Every structure is written in structure tokens, then in C-alpha cells.
Amino acid sequence: MTPDELAGLDPRRDLALIQAGVNEELVAGRSPAPLYRALAERDPVALVQVIVGPQAPIGAAAARAALEMIDLLEASMTTHGLYRRLSDLAGEASIDVLTMAASRHPLGTWLVALSARIEGPNAGMVHLHQVVGHPAFTAACWSHAEAGHRNALLAVAVNSRRPEPAAALLATGAIDEAAQAAAAILSVAPSSPVLPWLAAVWGPNLDPIIAAIAARLSDDTARAALDAWLLPATSPPLPEIEPA
Amino acid sequence: MTVEAWLLGDPGRTPFAGHFRGRAALGDAWIEVVGRIGSDNGIVDAFPVARSMTNRLTELTPRASALGAGRHALARALWQIVLEPAPPPADPSVGGDLSLLFVSGDQRGLSVGGVGLAGVWRRDAGAAWASMVPRDHPLLSSRGIPPSLPGVLALDLAPEVICAAPRPLEADLPPIHLIAPRCGVRV
């Protein structure tokens, strides 16, 4: 169905025909996006019905075309419900749906559940990487940590070199993962304030955490970084005595 | 026998910014110290200040032995460390937000002291938490390095734990099941 053919239809009365037209485009390997755009101009409510209604098309191509209409869709229903529905329909493009959701709603607490639904054992990967550097990053780390999304927190800690994911892991008792993240960060970014963050979460009895980090350090640079953080100079160093 | 000293952290995700602790013994005397410093400047800036304080508290025993014996020597050594300017590279202005609680003891008794505390409670064996001092008690002073040597509160009976709220927290003890976690104490 072309946009011109659509022009001869009544969007409300002929919804089933339009739906069939969308499916024809998909079966033919064409994107329904031009059809969606034409329908959006004539009857946005009908378009929403076509895209996310009971007879909505299933599959990645349909979902990607739907994401082009995201402004209109978001204006028509709750964001949480919209993205959940789109992800159900999207098949392999569900990651695209999640990426869109995370970029437009980085503060959405519902992203945690949506991430689990779409990403399974890697839940949080898309959302957390999307919000690195955003004011919502810390809150997102804590939300995903509370949901047990440890793989993603570990990955984003290593990739971003930021301390918040390690701190969030520690806050939820994931000591091994927090130590692993901290060790990885110190190896590549010795000046990253991961230890101050861990201490601020854990409290002053930091020895078990330090031991867990030290056990995971594999190079001298990282060990030197750990020492530098732990032993701020308490007095100027004494002059060295020449060996006899 | 020692008495545990706990210090409440802030509510929120990073409650223990700037927290430090130390302990030392000298003969039959002992001291437990908890505190926080530099937290007004944020997590990152507070950490080296608190670590520096932790490291300086390792000097408690040798300093106390030079001052005499018993719990009072340890307490005097603590104040000596706190009152002297922090060595380089620490910012000399640091310390205005200091809160500190210590408990020291020996065979002759127990002493409690501190600075920057909003409330202090004790938990005796098999008993509930109870406030140790009224709100206008000198033990509940303002934050910061004290201008002179503060006094101590003498205790006749040893509690299991003494817990304090650092200013500017309110003098409110959390629900019982949250006190230990709010102090960073894990069993």
C-alpha cells in the first residue's frame, strides 16, 4: 500500500485494510515508515492503533519504523506501557526500543524492569551505558544494583572508568564484583576516585574491601594507585641514607 | 574488655564520606575512636583527609606511652593528634567539620569524650538503647577542632556499645534494626 492508496481510505473505518497494507509492505521487505508518516498527518489516533493496537505488526522492521514515530506515540500513551508493548512486538529490534527509551527517559525507573525483560542476564547494559555522565547515572547504578544487574554494572564500570557502578555493587553486598570493578578501574585509570566512593558506601572498616581489591590487581601501576589512595602522606618523607 | 564505639552515617547512598576509626592499647588501657572529617567537601575530598586521620591514629600508643599510663594517657594522645595541624599535604583549613567520639577504658574506669556530636546513646548487655546525656550536656559540642582540651564523661558501668550522631544530624536514633547498618557495622 502506498501513501497515495492510503489517501482513498477512511482511517477509522478502514483500519483493517490499513493494517493489511502495512503487513504487505513488511512482507515485501519494505519499511512501513512512509505509510506511518502519511497516516500520522491524517489521523494520529489511527496510527497509534496500527502500531501498538491488538493487530499491530510484529518484527524488527515494524518496530524500527514505529520508533520513527516515537514523538507521536509517546504523546498518546504512558511511556512505560508504550516501550513495553513495542519491545514485545520488536523481536530482534527490542534492543533498539530499549536504546530509544533510555536515551529519551534516562531517569525512568521503569527502565530497570524493561532492561531485565529485554536484556536478560545482561540487564542494564544499554541503560547504564546510555546514562554515563548524565546526572541520572548514580541513581541508575543503584537501581540496577538493587535489581541484581551485576554483569552490566561491572561492564559499565570497566568501560566508563567511573566509580559509581562499583559503589552501587558494594552497596548491595556484591563485594567480589565491586572489588573486581575497582581493580579494573585502578588498572586503567589510577586517579579514578573509586576508593573514596567505596569507603563512602561501606564505612571506615575498609580492610576487607581493600584486601579483595588487592587480590585482583595484576600490575604494578594498579598496586601503586591503590597505595597512593590509601596512604596519603602523613609527613614529608625522610631523606634516604646512602647504603654503606 | 573494650566498648565498641559507633558513629551514625548520613541517610542516603554514600553515608560514610569522611568516616574514620582507630583503636589502640597501652598496658591494660584501650581506646576506641570513630569520627568523620572533610565530609562537607564531598566524597572525594573527604577520603584522603579521613585516611590521613586514620593513619595518624596509629601514633596513639607511642604518643600515649610518652604521656604516662592508663586511659587518660590514650585520650590525651588522641587530643594531641587532633589538635595539632594536619601535616602536609592536608589543607590546614580542614577540620572545621570534625565530629569524633571516643571511649577509653582501663581497670579503673571508663571515659567517653568527643566533639561535634548531636546525641550519644549506650546499649548495655541485654538492655535497650538509652540516651546517655541531655541535649544541653557539654559532651554535645559543636563541630570542629576544639579550641582547648575537652572534658570527658566518666562511666561507672561498661556498656556493650556507645553510638553517637555526628552534627549536623539530628539527635535521633534510627530504628533498632537499622542502627548497626547505619553505622557501617556488619555482623
pTM value is 0.88
Rounded to a whole number of angstroms, the distance from the CA of A81 to the nearest CA of chain B is 29
Higher pLDDT, A229 or A201: A201
Closest residue, chain B, to A198 (C-alpha): B14
Q: Is the pLDDT of residue A175 over 50?
A: yes
Identify which of B43, B87, B88 has the shortest CB distance to residue A196.
B43
> Is A196–B34 a contact, with Cβ atoms under 8 angstroms apart?
no
Q: Which residues of A touch B20 (CB under 8 A)?
A: 204
Nearest to A182 by CA among A204, A203, A165: A165
Rounded to a whole number of angstroms, the distance from the CA of B41 to the nearest CA of chain A is 12
pLDDT tens readout for residues B152-182: 999 988 999 999 999 999 999 999 999 999 9
Over pLDDT 90: what percentage of chain A? 70
CA distance B92 to B70: 31
Identify which of B9, B52, B184 has the shortest CB distance to residue A234.
B52
User: Given strand B117-123, what is the order of strands in its sheet?
Assistant: B4-7, B161-166, B117-123, B129-131
> Is A236–B88 a contact, with Cβ atoms under 8 angstroms apart?
yes
Asked if A124 and A93 count as a contact pair (C-beta separation under 8 A), the reply is no
Q: Which residues of A touch B183 (CB under 8 A)?
A: 203
Higher pLDDT, A11 or B38: B38
Given this model, what pLDDT does residue B92 score?
A: 57
pLDDT tens readout for residues B7-32: 999 999 999 999 999 999 999 999 99
Rounded to the nearest 10°, the torsion over CA A178, A180, A185, A191 is 70
Q: Which residues of A touch B81 (CB under 8 A)?
A: none
Mean pLDDT calculated for residue range A203-226:
91
Given this model, what pLDDT does residue B91 score?
A: 62
Rounded to a whole number of angstroms, the distance from the CA of A205 to the nearest CA of chain B is 8
Nearest to B167 by CA among B6, B47, B10, B4: B10
